Chains A and B, each alone.
Chain A
Amino acid sequence: LTSLSDGPKHGYAIMTDIAAFSGVRMEPGTLYGALSRLERRGWVAPLAAAERRRPYQITAAGQEILTEQVTTMQQIVQVARLRTAMAWGA
């Protein structure tokens, strides 16, 4: 969802994008497993395929979920920072 948040991308572009911003090298099987689940939940939507590549875009429901997830993660990060700082002054 994060990868699609700045605009529609096709499968391989999502993989390279995720590798670039997170360092995680995603395998095609994982990617398409995730895409099919996201699509079924209505969080991403397929666009018309250009030759054999089909771009995906995030839906309004997907944006909502992503925002929610980012907020939750931010809270976790904050708590982790505070606690680690208190415990060992990191």
Chain B
Amino acid sequence: MRPGLAARLSRFLVRCYPPRWRQRYAEELLEVLDQHQPTSRTVLNLWAGAVSAQLDPAWRTRRHPAIGLRRRVRIGARVFAGIAAVLLVSAVAVSFLAWRDEQGNTGPPMPLSDGVFAMAFSPDGHTVAVINPSLELWDVTNRAHPERLGYSEGDLVTGTDPAFSPDGRVLATAGGRTVILWNVADPTPRPTEIAVLPAYPSGVNALAFSPDGRTLASGYDDGEVVLWNAADPARVTPIATLPGHGGDVAALSFSPDGHLLASASDNGTVVLWNIADPAHPANTATLHAPVPPPAPVNFCPNAALAFSADGRTLTTVEDSTTVTQWNVTGPGAVTRLTTSILSGIGDGPVAFSADGRTLAGAHTTGDTIALSVLP
């Protein structure tokens, strides 16, 4: 084979690698090819490499290309001991956790694996579960040196944040239209799959465990919420389907006593359900954001929900900065207490602390993390 033809064919074959592979390696490989004298062996070898990368599930193109963009900046689902963690995903898909505590201290960002687009903190705050798109568990006790505990074999097609059970032993992740439960009590070297729940017609968009861990709620793109009996994670059964509220479910939160479930939608509505008897959920109230939410910036769903520790107040955030507190003590008598506009909380995703008192926010550029203690 003529050297010129081999060089041209080699460069063409680099384009036959999967897009995600090319994004990461193509430039370096082309540089190496420039220095190398390509022969027919080089061409054959690249062809074999491209075929094997195409067959490798790790390089398969995600079915939702918007996910990467949408999860450009993620706030940790937990503000632990006054520390907010923000997951930053840079343009080259390198992810790291940035920190800020109540005193304003920030540490060096903790590098995680590439391309993370969903995350959750364990209840004790020591472990972070990330989806990249396999499920990985990281020990983040030592903020200078996070350690990967284990990762799943296959990939999950989801940008939905996973949810830990209250005891931290079970993790629920979305997998497209299904929910997968994982045993994460000992995730080294692999978290093990406990159960794959029946699929629903639309994608899983939000997940939450009840405080006693016996009920799992899953929210879908079509606005429906399903309650599952998860007392035995190996034998999970559906209990009830809560009819949709017109927009996709962006966030779910149980009251501390487990009697109320709040679901927030990207369209600015929050529905409150009385699930004291989970088999017969009752729509208690539909709350409308006092200020209609603007179109999501950078595709970031900026809704968040939290009950106060005493269960008397529900705080909702519709658009990163508008925070409303509702009195939810009496069923059927939900009243709005306050609405405040937080300045400097950022325009990106927001997350509450476990006690619902601290709100963390970030700018979509990812360079500022803000913490705000609510009145």
A residues in contact (CB < 8 Å) with B? 10-12, 15, 27-33, 35-36, 40, 42, 49, 52-54
Tell whether, in the assembled complex, residue B33 and residue A28 are in contact, meaning their CB atoms are under 8 Å apart.
yes
Which residues of the partner chain B approach A27 to less than 8 Å between Cβ atoms?
A: 41-42, 45-46
A53–B29 CA distance with the chains assembled, in angstroms = 9
In the complex, residue of chain B having the shortest beta-carbon distance to the beta carbon of A54: B28
Residue of A28, A30, A31, A33 with most chain B CB atoms under a 10 A cut-off: A28
B285 at interface (Cβ–Cβ under 8 A)? Answer: no
> Chain B interface (Cβ within 8 Å of chain A)?
10, 13, 21, 24-25, 27-33, 35-36, 41-42, 45-50, 52-53, 58, 148
- The listed residue (A15, A35, A53) touching B25 by CB distance below 8 A is A35
Q: Which residues does chain B contribute within 8 Å of A29, judged by CB atoms?
A: 13, 42, 45-50
30 contacting pairs across A/B (C-beta < 8 A): A10-B28, A11-B29, A11-B32, A12-B31, A12-B36, A15-B32, A27-B41, A28-B10, A28-B29, A28-B33, A28-B36, A28-B45, A28-B46, A29-B45, A29-B47, A29-B48, A29-B49, A29-B50, A30-B45, A31-B32, A32-B25, A32-B29, A33-B49, A33-B53, A36-B25, A40-B58, A52-B30, A52-B31, A53-B28, A53-B31
Q: B28 contacts which of A11, A30, A33, A42 (Cβ < 8 Å)? A: A11
A85, B15: Cα distance in complex, Å:
51
Set B13, B36, B47, B50: member contacting A15, Cβ < 8 A = B36
The CA-CA distance from A32 to B46 in the complex, in Å, is 9
Complex CA gap A10/B30 in Å reads 13
State the 6 A-B residue pairs at the shortest beta-carbon distance, nearest first: A29-B49, A27-B45, A29-B45, A29-B46, A52-B31, A11-B32
State in angstroms the CA–CA spacing of A27 and B32 once bound together: 10
With A12-B31, A32-B29, A33-B53 known, 6 other A-B pairs at CB within 8 A are A12-B32, A27-B42, A28-B33, A29-B50, A52-B28, A52-B31
From B13, B32, B148, name the one whose CB has the most chain A CB atoms within 10 angstroms. Answer: B32
> In the complex, which of the residues A12, A29, A30, A42 has the most CB atoms of chain B within 10 Å of its own CB atom?
A29
Assuming the A-B contacts A27-B46, A28-B46, A29-B48, are A49 and B148 also in contact, with contact meaning beta carbons closer than 8 angstroms in the complex? Answer: no
Which residues of chain A have C-beta atoms less than 8 A from B42's C-beta? 27-29
A48 to B35: give the CA distance in the assembly, Å: 20
